[in-house]
Amino acid sequence: MPRRVFDERDLSLVKEVLDSGMLSGLGGGQMTPRFEREFAAALGAKYGVAMNSAMSVLHASVKAAGAGAGDEVICDPVCVFGAVATMYNNAVPVFVDIDPVTHNMNPDLLEAKITDRTRAIIVTHVWGLPAPMDRIMEIARRHGLFVIEDCAHAIFASYKGQYTGTFGDVGSFSFQMSKQMALGDGGMAVTNDEKVRDELALHAGAPTFHSVAYGLHWNYRITEVTAAIGIAQLERMHDYIAGLQAVAKLYDDAVAGCEWLTLQRAGPEYVHTFHFWVATFWGDRHGISMEDFRAALERHECGVNIGYTGMPAYKHPLIAERLGYGRGCPLDCPLYAGQGNQYPEGLCPVAEEVIPRMVLVYTFSDDEYHKVNAERLHQVVEEIS
Ligand SMILES: Cc1ncc(COP(=O)(O)O)c(C=O)c1O
């Protein structure tokens, strides 16, 4: 471990689908509703709504929040996906800076970003570490804002004993192939609100023709085969997560005592599920340049990524060059009358400084690989400290 297992259990559920001749939840397939029930129950949520990707879930969730042209949605700046979903809905993403240690949205900075145009907050549990949801929810509720948790990195992560995805109005999960629960592709929304479930279900299951009666919605249906594999994989998730946590421990041990690498961690009430193991490089404050670090990693053939995308979400061409639907939308939509669509240098100074310093290891691969790789990282730290 961590190794993804697809075996007789998955095959027997897939065979059930094929034997039934019903490969879609539309018209009676039973795997999708079963997957939705079992996934929601495993997290302690009331309802699950399965879709074909997490971007579909995020797109539909921003719509369920009532955010559209002229509105703002607050996002975090490390991962771009919340901003993308906001822009799908022709709304304007507004960014809150991060905490330099946890890489999650800094709740101290959240309230100042709320305006009378704000409709929702999308909170990513970055790399698998929960964001401080009690503070975020308290602020959101006081302002009547809809909260979407992006749990693409954080399945079965928890904060104060509660699973991520169950604090806000919607929790969004990704089953894309690199994620902790990998089904090829797919996504799941969880919610405790029946109305939100019904709205999301229109995008997930209703025939597209229903648009004529219920308003515009998209066809984001998951297939029965994917749902069948999801049921089998769900049974293995706690083993997978324990494996990822064991991998993270190898890297924690490899850098133990290193004062120039800060682990991306919070207190004991935060249970991290390590889509990536991540630390932040502060070597330049200890006489070690990034170039020295990179060169040593290369010499030791140590497989870490430095810097993720190298920039916060708003510096990507999508936002910096205002790409979108044409005619100025969404960022310069004529219905938008606020200032949140400006993204100058220094907008989120912590994210701008910290993202290029991020040191990341993708956890879901062979144990043997990680043992060797962690030992190499240890050698790098020893050599240049
Ligand atoms: C944080 C985050 N949110 C959303 C997504 C989108 O997931 P999907 O590929 O299932 O649409 C990703 C995928 O990389 C992600 O990392």
Contact present, 93 and 87 (Cβ < 8 Å): yes
Q: Is the CB of 174 under 6 A from ligand 1?
A: yes
Task: Please give the Cα distance from 48 to 227 (Å, whole number).
Answer: 12
Neighbour count for residue 330 (Cβ, 10 Å): 23
Ligand 1 closest atom vs CA 186: 10
Ligand 1 binding pocket includes 81 (Cβ within 6 Å):
yes
Tell me the average confidence (pLDDT) per consecutive run of 10 residues in the chain, 385 residues long. 89 98 92 98 98 98 97 98 98 98 98 98 98 98 98 98 98 98 98 96 80 83 97 97 97 98 98 98 97 98 97 97 91 96 98 98 95 98 96
Report yes or no: 103 and 360 within 8 Å, Cβ to Cβ: no
Residue with CA nearest ligand 1 atom 16: 152
Considering only CA atoms, which residue is closest to atom 8 of ligand 1? 54
Fold exhibited by the domain 8-237:
Aspartate Aminotransferase; domain 2 (3.40.640)
Q: Can you give the pLDDT at residue 210?
A: 73
Burial (CB count <10 Å: 0-12, 13-18, 19+), residue 317: exposed
Q: Considering only CA atoms, which of 125, 99, 102, 126 is closest in space to residue 110?
A: 99
Measured in Å, residue 315 CA sits from the centre of ligand 1 at: 18
Residue nearest to atom 7 of ligand 1 (CA): 54
Domain residue extents for the chain? 8-237, 238-309+350-384
> Could you tell me if the CB of 51 is within 6 A of ligand 1?
no
- Strand order through the sheet with 305-306: 261-263, 276-281, 358-362, 305-306
> Does the fold of domain 238-309+350-384 match that of domain 8-237?
no
Hunting for tokens 């929601």 — which residue is that?
40
How many contiguous H segments (helices) and E segments (strands) does the chain have?
A: 13, 14
Residue 36 · residue 190 · CB < 8 Å: no
Q: Report whether residue 153 contacts ligand 1, using a CB cutoff of 6 Å.
A: yes
Pocket test for ligand 1, best of 129, 172, 174, 218 (most atoms within 8 A of CB): 174
Reference 275, options 150, 107, 93, 98; nearest CA is 150
CA of 54 to the centre of ligand 1 (A): 6
170 sits in which H/E element: strand 170-174
* Residue identifier of the C-alpha nearest atom 15 of ligand 1: 152
C-beta separation of 12 from 374 below 8 A: no
- Three-state SS at 270: strand
Q: To which CATH superfamily is domain 238-309+350-384 assigned?
A: Aspartate Aminotransferase, domain 1 (3.90.1150.10)
Atom of ligand 1 nearest to the CA of 79: 1
What is the distance in A from the centroid of ligand 1 to the CA of 81?
6
pLDDT at position 331:
97
Helices (H), the chain: 8-20, 31-43, 54-64, 81-88, 133-142, 194-204, 211-214, 224-234, 237-254, 290-299, 317-320, 349-354, 367-384
User: Atom 2 of ligand 1 has which residue's CA nearest to it?
Assistant: 152
pTM, rounded to two decimals? 0.98
Q: Is the CB of 197 within 6 Å of ligand 1?
A: no
Give the pLDDT score at 1. Answer: 59
Give residue 173 CA to ligand 1 midpoint distance, Å. 8
Tell me how far apart the alpha carbons of residues 67 and 45 are, in angstroms, rounded to a whole number: 24
11 φ, ψ (degrees, to nearest 5)? -60, -40
